[in-house]
Amino acid sequence: MIKNLLRGFSALSLALVPLLSAPAAQAAPTADVTTLADAVGLVEVTEEDRTGYTRSSFKHWNSGDDKSDGCNTRAEVLISEAVVAPTVEAGCKLTGGTWVSYYDGQEVTSAGALDIDHMVPLAEAWDSGASAWTAARREAYANDQGSAVSLVAVTARSNRQKSDQDPADWMPPSPEAQCRYVGEWVSTKLRWDLTADDRELEALKAYSEGPCEDTIVRYTPAA
C-alpha cells in the first residue's frame, strides 16, 4: 500500500517536472509610444549611400502571413485594408471591394487600381541601413505585415509620384494625410532601425515642431 502511494507520488512528481522546468511563454512585445518630436530625435543621422541597390535585393511579394490562404502579401494587405471587403475567388483573385487611398483621399473600387506602397521605399531603406542586412531580413522588410503602417494600399498615381522620395522631397497631396504620413514614416524608420540624412531629418523636425506637434508615434522594433 505504502509502496503504491510512493509510486504514485513519484509519477506525479515526474509529470510535473516538464511543467515546472518549461520556460514561460514569451509575452508579445509592447509598442513604444512617444511624441513625434521625441521619435524624430531617436532617428540616427548618417549620409545615405545607394551603391549596389537593385529592387530585386528585396524579395516581394512572398506568400504572406497566412501560408495556407493562397494569397501573397499584396493581396493580404488589400484584404486587410478594404473598407468594403472584396470577394476572394480561386487563386486569390479579388473582385468587388472598396478602398480609400489616404495619400490623396481617393475612393477606389478596383484592386487593380491600387499599389501597395512601402512606407519607407525600398531604395530609401537600402540607403538607410538595409544594404548591410541579410537577404532574409530584406525580404521580411519588403513583406512586413507585423506593423499596420509598413505597407499601405494607395492609388497607383500617388505611389508613383512618391517613387523613392523621402519627406524632404514628397508629401501626400492631401493636407489631412500629412501628419499621419510623417508619423508612420518615423515609426517605420524606428521599427527597422533605419537612419535619416540631414535634409530628411530637417523636414521631419519641421513637421514635428509645427503642424504635426500633437502626432503620436507607436512602433515595435522588428525581430
Angle 211-213-218 from CA coordinates, rounded to 5°: 125
Is the four-CA dihedral 65, 68, 69, 73 of positive or negative sign? positive
Q: With bands split at pLDDT 50, 70 and 90, how would you rate the model's confidence at 30?
A: confident
DSSP code per residue over 191-217: HTT--B-HHHHHHHHHHHTTTTTT-EE
Question: Sorting pLDDT into bands at 50, 70 and 90, what band is 28?
Answer: low
Give residue 11's pLDDT: 38
Q: Which residue from 124, 115, 185, 189 is spatially nearest to 152, judged by alpha carbons? A: 115
Is the peptide bond prior to 133 cis by the omega test (within 30 degrees of 0)? no
Contact residues for 193 (Cβ-Cβ < 8 A; gap 6+):
129, 221, 222
| Predicted TM-score of the model (pTM) | 0.87
Mean per-residue pLDDT over the chain, rounded: 90
pLDDT surpassing 50 at residue 23: no
Which of 16-20, 69-73, 102-106 has the lowest average pLDDT? 16-20
DSSP 47: -
Contact 185, 119 (CB under 8 A): yes
In tens, the pLDDT along 81-105 reads 999 999 999 999 999 999 999 999 9
| Interatomic CA distance for residues 103 and 81, integer angstroms | 14
Which pLDDT belongs to residue 25?
Answer: 45
pLDDT tens profile 155-210: 999 999 999 999 999 999 999 999 999 999 999 999 999 999 999 999 999 999 99
Q: What is d(CA 23, CA 26) in angstroms, rounded to the nearest whole number?
A: 8
